[in-house]
Chains A and B, each alone.
Chain A
Amino acid sequence: MDFLAELLIAALIVFGGVFGLVGSYGLAKLPDLMTRLHGPTKATTLGVGSVLMASMVFILWDKGTLSVHELLVTIFLLLTAPITANFIAKSFLHRQANPETDLPPTGTECGWASFDVPPDSDDDEPNSLTIPRRNKG
């Protein structure tokens, strides 16, 4: 039993480590910001996920109690990772993308929210903190 538990924990840690490594490698290797975003949002979730599972198995085997902190960490990770990625993507669009040439059309009457105002708003600025764009003023 001890051997089996150790084998499982070791396998999970190695599996997680490999994915963490691949995620970091992707971050360094991929050519631009938008593609780089894919590395940390994907490969890292499984990497961290399996290390957390290894931790749960270890505590269950070592102390005989079920630890739920790891589940919480997983939930918070799944909640926050997409929001961080969205914030980074939006600031990238603000600073470096030209909505007319770089982005596909929205298919509706309005433009993308980073560049256009909602239809029922009186505000002329898309955002009160509008940063001057590199491509157009």
Chain B
Amino acid sequence: MIARLLPHPVLTATLVLVWLMLLNSLSLGGLLLGLILGVTVPLLTAAFWPERPRIRHPLKIIAYVLLVLWDIFVANIQIAYVVVFKTNKQLRSHFITIPLEIYSPEAITMLAGTITMTPGTVSSDLSADGRSLLVHCLDTDDPQGQVDGIKARYEARLKEIFE
């Protein structure tokens, strides 16, 4: 019963929180409307998201987000350096293939998003069976090192969180 009414409890909580943040104040009316939205939206969209993702270690997500935010900060400075000081001819841009060890669609989505936001890499495509990720590197002299770095830094942590 609860599972049918709240197909995605985490999504419900997120929606209520986002609604309260949008209002920028805490009131009973706002909370009520937030709850109504938080219950109806997951119900209406449940057909598009049939499985409930398993999150093994919710607290580790916070550590992961902080790590990614720090990496985004560093990435910005590196990319700014490359854009301003390197000529187009000096750029060594490559497509690289990252074989995946994670299976959960949510984990793969988060990995792809992380890759796009961090140092000089944009995730471009997924293989048809969902087992490897196509990533474009702006400037790298060591494609294999990039692959290993992404797998060790992000994929290993996501695997711990989701699987």
Q: Does A8 contact B (CB under 8 A)?
A: no
CA distance A125 to B75 in the complex (A): 38
Known: A107-B132, A112-B126. A81 touches B116 (CB 8 A): yes
* Prevailing SS type, chain B contact patch: mixed
Q: Does B31 contact A (CB under 8 A)?
A: no
Residues of chain B at interface, number, CB under 8 A: 39
Q: Does B131 contact A (CB under 8 A)?
A: yes
Inter-subunit contact B136/A42 (CB<8 Å) = no
- Chain A interface residue number, banded: 35 or more
CA distance A46 to B123 in the complex (A): 19
Interface flags for A62-97 (1: CB within 8 Å of B; 0: not) read 000001110110000011011101100110110000
Q: Does B41 contact A (CB under 8 A)?
A: no
Known: A93-B125, A112-B125, A113-B128. A43 touches B80 (CB 8 A): yes
Q: Does B28 contact A (CB under 8 A)?
A: no
Shortest distance between the CB of A123 and any CB in chain B (Å): 11
Which residues on the A side are within 8 Å of B134 (C-beta)? Answer: 103-104, 106, 112
CA distance A105 to B80 in the complex (A): 30
Inter-subunit contact B138/A119 (CB<8 Å) = no
- Among candidates A35, A78, A79, A111, residue contacting B138 with C-beta atoms closer than 8 Å: A35
Using a CB–CB distance below 8 Å, which chain A residues touch chain B?
19, 22-23, 25-26, 29-31, 34-35, 37-39, 41-43, 45-46, 67-69, 71-72, 78-79, 81-83, 85-86, 89-90, 92-93, 102-114, 116-119, 126
Question: Besides A34-B124, A104-B134, 6 other CB < 8 A contacts?
Answer: A30-B83, A46-B72, A68-B21, A103-B134, A112-B126, A114-B125
